[in-house]
Structure 1
């Protein structure tokens, strides 16, 4: 066989092997983008420089607290939130508007440690406010209950007719130093709040017009125009004295996104 024929056979084999045995880049095993089009808001921190937040897509609300974009052990970038005592540090989404005042939220979360003092210390990680109602809605938050004892997740609110309440539930104990996925729903229909943890709904982590943890008056959602995501603890003299948590893959959507 001449050299020209050998080269022709070899080239044909390469072409056939490429057509049959190879997979085009990105055609298999590629994870979907964490910020697809069509979301009401999304932040995965991958396009931000490390360090203090540098973006026009969201604002910052802090008191005795900091927000820092940093690289996690798995190689992606996350938002590191640190507060001292009863400080706060929030990523703030302003000028928010959800069709029909109904939306879902999602975030991945790891909290280093939760409060074990003072008694009844309560904290918020997600807060929604707006017009038409003075209620400050807290779909993701919790409280230390010395009577159990333990620290538990609970839906809550403040500032409106229902008063200041956190409806913590023993069916939802907190988990320290582990990544979890939290989802929540805020729906003007029956003023409903619902929560999922790692994709599983907890029927006790809910609120509605007549079923909530506050005063015996109707619970009415505001028309939400601001959503804050981060950490705030309301009582001083805490144990531990500082709080660290990491948040990633934040999304707000008109449809449930899942984990």
Structure 2
């Protein structure tokens, strides 16, 4: 099983890191993981001129990749993935990265971005997507509350709010925000959000969820499990094992 598991950085804000120090850290992680590390990068807050931030991030990525090629024998350069919410960023990144990394979106949104990018591709790349699932051994409602809180957290970030508007989920999130009932009473998740994320899914439900993204063109579904801070270690380990068996 360990030969199937790769280690990732999540998404780091590339422009906020010293290139030399980051290169050394990546070399160490790549060596310890037997060349199974992959690096996810993004711009972070886009600032007043998002286009310039994207260009600067991609130029920094090119510099890093030059440094990766100087790794000692036995340590190969890691795969790189550029985080993207918009088609413009995705188009600019094509040809300069091993893959694109989507996050917290529906299969429909993923399919639209992937289709737009494929029209300009010369060679194939991976299309990865973080698939967030929320889990709790205590109750389904605990898991559902984690899910809803995550939507509210991300909706407060302007670029994600814009994506939610495009994805058709912004209205459902707004209705949750206007009501505190979900935080104390019974919890019901709008169907628009269930296409994006799941809470305490059964194995067959999780399988269908992952397959919906594969059918949309996502070549690398990345299951991202979330647990309450006080969740038991045994439940965490058993859940990860179940995920590996399902997907």
Structure 2 length as normaliser, TM-score?
Answer: 0.23
Larger strand share, 1 or 2: 1
Structure with larger RCO (C-alpha < 8 A, sep 6+): 1
